[in-house]
Structure 1
């Protein structure tokens, strides 16, 4: 049940750079904002040892940068809750989210910023030995392999850069690569650094078939994809960096449109297919997934949500609660025909002793209402009574014919 304690203007699900950026903008806009995050604030960025491409900051640790994001949001009165959202109801004007701790929260708008998570290969031994030698985050776990032999699976930016970090602790790091010798999927600078690294070795044209060990990792079984030959390599740790998947599984029944991988397509304003619901950061379909693009997404979505909320509040007050019938006028402030028609409508209403309340909707700034009423041209007028549509006026007539329609 909704009450003052669980009711918000804006709820943000996820506390990575996208969610925190949205929180900053939401709080600054004086929206009552709640950020729900199941893990450590900062998301994947919080596990990054060094960030060297965030504009204006030459080098900073992920935890330090994300800590600053969180403090910034807190300074604007944003509320934080450590919990996991497991259910949603986005059907009505009041969006509802339900958490693992069986709490319910309501908001006028929701921003989804749950990011993504490491993709599993689902090979024998991987799940069984998670936390006992199988790992997915070098910053989190590399130090546990001091002086030991470690295998890294993958050859993208994350795999190679994390592999070099692991090499600071491990005796040796062996990278398993699908490609021919010398070919890595990472950027050129990282590739050059890894290939000449004294503690890093590469096994080319190969993939991993199994993680060996009972209580802890003892080695890996490797298959050469060209010859089919199977070999075993002793090691004490295996780090998987074979891609990411969006953390959107809990949204499958929400009505949100998602692609075959679970990523959410959005508009330029970060709008999803559901009114009042936005998606930002690594869980949305996009070209580049970096802290700077996540922060940009969050800012865009929060501003869009603020305008959506203002639009809905204004509609509630001026239309749904109006004692008079409402003439909902869709116009374009830069269109001369729209401006002339607006004047004519006001004059006709004056002649009718202001029997109607005229509510003007500028198509350039209030697109949600235009979509709601399927308005594709201006000027357009929808006659409403208590929010119920009665009819639409023919706007291509003179004042007399316009008056006759009313």
Structure 2
């Protein structure tokens, strides 16, 4: 079965839903497929306090329901389904849904997001949203005046450790390698080492996150000696990277070394005319709901201009 649409949106986080709102209002009759995680990463986020317009804060899943309702009210056609294959070789872009039906689209907006990398501990998943987080900028504020831990060794981990050090009384930083094996740039390493309330544990790995209903501590293990120690704390942040959900676009779209879709500066345009990317699948710097929504708006406006220039109505 094949279907033809003006605007196909793949993914349903803040970027996808915002693109759908703008595209629907521009009479582009957008069709949005929600993907493997309807609502994106915000559906595994509890309290969102930094998105404008919600003075009392809002639960992540509830916020995504609001986004979806608004997109539907504007006339967006929102469907369940996962994009499993694409063919961007011709002037009409083809996307396969659930390994069977093909959609032909004049424009495609990719907002498939990125998935945080996790350590793979059962306790990590059990306590996710209850003190375990993959975003210090999103959730650090809730642990002001408390002790927290962060695991990671790159620039992002260092940036988040420094961010947390301004809020928390103490930051326990867990680094798997020794001092000479830290991936972060020298300047970031120096800043972390100079911070009085950041304690670095070298050659350490997370053995277990402790707590039943919320994070109460972490047990770490020294890789060289096997020695274990328990540290009481209120939050555990994972900063070992993100993986953009871009695998099916490889071969057609330009990706960077980490797999993020490359867009032209100041736009949502990819290297394929009529294909646009928004949100975390192309943003490895900010990764916030508000920036994702903004880039979703850009993608819809770019797609509308593309259709107008092509004389497609």
Q: Does TM, normalized by the shorter one, top 0.5?
A: yes
Q: Deviations over 1:315-341 (max 9, x none)?
A: xx9xxxxxxxxxxxxxxxxxxxxxxxx
How far residue 103 of structure 1 moved from its aligned partner, in angstroms, is: 2.0
Distance 1:87 1:154, change over 3 A: closer
Q: Is the 8 A contact 1:206 1:222 kept in 2?
A: no
Task: Report the TM-score, using the length of structure 2 for normalisation.
Answer: 0.73
Q: Distance in 2 between matches of 1:223 and 1:153?
A: 23
Structure 2 residues without counterparts, runs of 5 or longer: 172-196, 209-217
Q: Of 258, 276, 294, which aligns to 1:261?
A: 258
Other-structure match for 1:276: 274
Aligned to 2:240: 242
Q: 1:14 aligns with which of 5, 11, 24?
A: 11
Q: In 2, Cα distance between the equivalents of 1:61 and 1:178?
A: 27
What are the within-5 Å matches in structure 2 for residues 293-372 of structure 1? 293-313=291-311
Q: Give the direction of change, closer, same or farther, for the CA distance of 1:196–1:243 in structure 2 (3 Å limit).
A: same
Shift of 1:49: 2.1
- Name 1:231's counterpart in structure 2: 227
User: Number of aligned pairs?
Assistant: 271
1:195 corresponds to which of 160, 169, 184: 169
Alpha-carbon distance in structure 1 between the residues aligned to 2:271 and 2:106: 16
Summarize the alignment of residues 3-402 of structure 1 with structure 2, pairs less than 5 Å apart: 6-58=3-55, 59-120=57-118, 126=120, 132-135=122-125, 138-139=128-129, 142=130, 156-157=136-137, 160=140, 164=143, 175=149, 185-186=159-160, 190-195=164-169, 204-206=200-202, 208-209=204-205, 211=207, 222-223=221-222, 228-233=224-229, 240-253=238-251, 255-267=252-264, 268-285=266-283, 287-313=285-311
1:345-382 CA distance string (max 9 Å, x none): xxxxxxxxxxxxxxxxxxxxxxxxxxxxxxxxxxxxxx
Query: Who wins on radius of gyration, i.e. which is larger?
Result: 1
**Once the two structures are superposed, what CA deviation does each residue of 1:83-114 show, in whole Å capped at 9, x if it has no partner?**
21110011122211112252221110001101
Distance 1:154 1:191, change over 3 A: farther
1:135 counterpart SS class: helix
Separation (CA, whole Å) in 2 of partners of 1:238 and 1:196: 12
Distance across 2 between alignment mates of 1:103 and 1:191: 50
| Alignment RMSD (CA, Å) | 3.6
The CA distance in 2 between the partners of 1:75 and 1:154, in whole Å, is: 32
List alignment gaps of at least 5 residues for structure 1.
143-149, 168-172, 213-218, 318-406
With the length of structure 1 as denominator, give the TM-score of the two structures. Answer: 0.57
**Structure 2 SS opposite 1:133:** helix
Residues 178 and 113 from structure 1, CA distance in 2 versus in 1: closer, same or farther, beyond 3 angstroms? closer
- Aligned pair in 2 of structure 1 residues 187, 21: CA closer, same or farther (>3 Å)? farther
2:15–2:293 Cα contact (<8 Å) kept: yes
How big is the shift at 1:310? 2.3
Alpha-carbon distance in 2 for matches of 1:223, 1:16: 39
